[in-house]
Chain A
Amino acid sequence: MQSTKVKHNWYIFRRGNFSYKLDRRVLPVLLALIVLGVIILIGSVSYGEYDISPLQVLQTILGLEDNSRFQLVVWQFRLPRIVISFMIGAALSVSGTILQGITRNPLADPGILGVTSGASLAAVASIVWFRLPPNYLPFTTFAGASIMAVLIYLLAWKGGSSSIRLILVGIGLAAFTSAITNIMIVFGDIRQVQQAYVWLAGSVYGRDWGHVSSITPWLLVLLPVAILQARQLNTLSLGDDTAKGLGVNVELQRGILLLTSVALAAVSVAVAGTVGFVGLVAPHITRRLVGPAHEGLIPASALLGGVLVMFADLVSRFVIAPSELPVGIVTAMIGAPYFMYLLYRNRNK
C-alpha cells in the first residue's frame, strides 16, 4: 500500500508493561470521522416521512420536546436503526481489518471469504428449521460463521495457508452454502421464509432497542479485544517467519484474532443479515488515512465503517421513498465499484 518511507511521528502511551503506539495522523482522522459521523447522524435522524424539523429532532433527543409522536418517531423508529447501522458497520469493518491483517491480503473481507454466508445459512436454519426466537441469533450465526471459518482454513491449508487459496476456497464455500440456503427456503414455511429473506438481503427495517441491546455486549467485548491485539496483528502482518523470529506464537495469535473477526461478522449478520463490502471498503479507506499500523487502524476503521453504513442506511430510505431498499443492496452498490477501483490501483502488485 503506502510507501514506508513516509516520515512517521508517533504518540506512545506507556504504563508498566503496556504500551500503545499511535500514528500522529490517527487523532485528527478520528476527530474528523466523529464530526462527519455527527453530521450524517443529524441528517439521518432528521430525514424521514414524518415531518419534524432538525431543531425539533434535537430537542426531542435532549428531552426538551414533549410531543409523544416526535419521541416515538425519533427514539423508536429512527435512532435504533441508525445505531444498529453504526454498530454493524463498525463490527464488519474491524472484522475485515483483522482478516486483511492475518491473511496479509488486501482483498480479504468476511463477505468475500464466505464467513457471512455461513452465518446467514445458520440464521436461516435457526429461523426456518429450528424456529428459535431472535435472541438466539447471535449464537447461531457465531456458530455458523466459526464452522465456515474453520472449513475455509482447513480446505485452504496445504503446508501453510496461502491467501489466494483462502479467498478462492471462500468463494467456493459461499456458493455451496447459499445453495443449501436456497434449498432450505424452498422447504420452509412461507411465514418463516419471508423473515429469512431479510437475512439474505441485509436490512435494518424495523430494528429496535432490543436488537441494539442484544449485540451491545458482544461489541463491548470484541472491539476492545481487537484493539488490544493490534500490536500482535502488526507483527503477524509482517509475515509468519518474521513474527516467529520476534517470538510470537503465530498460530495461537492468529487463532484468537480469527475468532474475534468471525465473531464480529457473525454479530452483524445476527441483527442485519448479510451487509456486504463494508469489511472490504472501510479498512482500505482508513488505511490510506492513518497508515497500516493497527493501533490506529482498528479504532479508525470501526468509526469509518459505522459512518459508512449509517450513510448507506440513509440512502436506502431515500432512493425509493416511501418504500425502502435493503441496506445491503446499497452497500453493495457503493462497495463493488470501490473494490474495482482498488483492483485498478493495485494492478501491478
Chain B
Amino acid sequence: MASKTKHGDSTRFIQSRAMLPLGLIIGLGLLVLCLAWSITLGAAEISLSTIWDSIFAFDDSSFQHLVIQTVRLPRVVAGALVGASLAVAGAIMQGLTRNPLASPSILGVNAGAAFAVVLTVFILGSPPLSVYSIAAFIGAGVASVLVYALGSMGRSGATPLKLTLVGAVFTAFVSSFTTALLVTSQDTLDQIRFWTVGSLAGRDWALFTQTAPYMLVGLIGALLLARQITTISLGEDIATGLGQNTLIVKGLAAIVVVLLAGGGVALAGPIGFVGLVAPHIVRFIVGQDYRWILPYCALVGGAMVILGDMAARIIIRPQELPVGVMMALIGAPFFIYLARWKLER
C-alpha cells in the first residue's frame, strides 16, 4: 500500500515540478466535470440539452431553467466553495500547528461557528442573511483562539493529542449549548440536524452572495501566504532563522482560517472532515510546498463535498442525507487511519 511511505517530496505522486501546473489544470477540469454531473441530478427530470440552454440561453419563464439556475447551480457552487474553503483552512491549520490531525471540525472551529449562528437566530428571531456570516465569524474566531490557547499550554506546546482533545471537548461543550437552545426554542428535529451536521439542501444565491466574498478573500489570502506557511511548516526555528516574523504570519493565517471556516459554516453548517482529509490526499500528490498544496486542496475539497452531496442525495432516494453525515462516514475512518499509522510517537 502506498500509504506505508513516509511523506516527503521524494515520494510525491507528481514527481516533476513542471507537471504541477498541468495537474492543477486537469484537476480543475475534473472539478468542473463533478459540478456538471451533480447538476444533472435532482428530483425533476431535466435533459442535458435543457441544462445547457438554461445556462447559455436562459429563459426566465421556464420552470426547468429556473430549477437549474436557482436550485441546482447555487447548491453545487456552494458545495464547491465550502469544500474548497474548509480544505484550505484545514491545510493551513495543519501547516501552522504541524499537526496532521488539525482541521476546522476536529479543532472545534466549526462547532463554535454553528453555535454562534444558532444563538443569533435564537436572540434575533429571523435576522437578515448578512448577520449569519458575521455571527459565524465571531464564533469561529473565538473558538479557534480558545482551542489553540488551551491546546498549546505547557512546555510541550500544541501536541496533536492535546489540540484534538481540546477540540473534541470544546465541540461537545458548545454543541450541548446548541442543543439546549434548540430544546428551549421548540425547533424541529430537522433544524437540529442541520446545525449539528451540516447540509447543502436548499442553499440559494441569497445566502451564497452574503458569504462567498469572505471565502473568496480567504482563499486569495491563503494563496498569498502560501510561501510563509511552507516555511513555518518546516519548523518555527527555521522560519525565524530565515528572518520571518512568525507572529504576524500566524496572525494573518488565523484570520484567513476564520474567514474560510466561518464562511463555510454560515453557508452550509458544520461539515466535518473535509479539512482533515483533503490536505492529506493533496500532500500525497504534490508534496510539502504550500504554494501547490493550497490550490490543489481547494480543488480536492470542492470535489469531495460535491461528490459527497451527490452520494447523500442518491443513496436513499427520494430522501436526502445531510452531506455532513456522508463526510463523517468517509472522514472518520481516515482520521483513525492517521491516528494509527501516521502519527509519530
Q: A: which residues have CB within 8 A of B?
A: 107, 111-112, 155-156, 158, 162, 164-165, 167-169, 171-173, 175-176, 178-180, 182-183, 185-187, 193-194, 197, 201, 276-277, 320, 323, 325-326, 328-329, 332-333, 336-337, 339-340, 343-344, 346-349
Contacts and interface: CB of A to CB of B under 8 A. Distances in A.
A186 B321 contact: yes
Contacts of B184: 320, 323, 325
A347 B154 contact: yes
B180 A329 contact: yes
B180 A325 contact: yes
A168 B343 contact: yes
Interface string B293-337: 000000000000000000000001001011001001101110110
B168 A171 contact: yes
Secondary structure of the A side of the interface? helix
Contact of A169 (B153, B166, B319, B339): B339
Interface stretch (B41-49, B121-129, B170-178, B258-266): B170-178
B173 A348 contact: no
Contacts of B329: 176, 179-180
Contact of A164 (B151, B161, B333): B161
List of 3 A-B pairs having minimum Cβ-Cβ separation, nearest first: A347-B154, A336-B173, A168-B339
Contacts of B281: none
7 contacts: A164-B343, A171-B165, A176-B329, A185-B193, A194-B189, A343-B151, A344-B153
A180 B154 CA distance: 37
B217 interface: no
Given A164-B161, A193-B189, A347-B153, A201 B166 contact: no
Contact of B340 (A107, A165, A183): A165
Contacts of A112: 165, 168-169
A346 B155 CA distance: 10
A250 B329 CA distance: 35
B331 A175 contact: yes
A347 B273 CA distance: 27
B99 to A, nearest CB: 11
Contacts of B219: none
A326 B183 contact: yes
B164 A168 contact: yes
Nearest to B335: A172
Given A168-B164, A323-B183, A343-B150, 17 more contacts: A112-B169, A168-B161, A172-B336, A175-B273, A179-B197, A179-B329, A182-B197, A185-B193, A187-B316, A329-B179, A332-B172, A336-B172, A336-B176, A337-B173, A339-B169, A343-B151, A347-B154
Contacts of B179: 201, 326, 329
A92 to B, nearest CB: 15
Nearest to A151: B336
B319 A186 contact: yes
Contact of B345 (A162, A320, A323, A347): A162
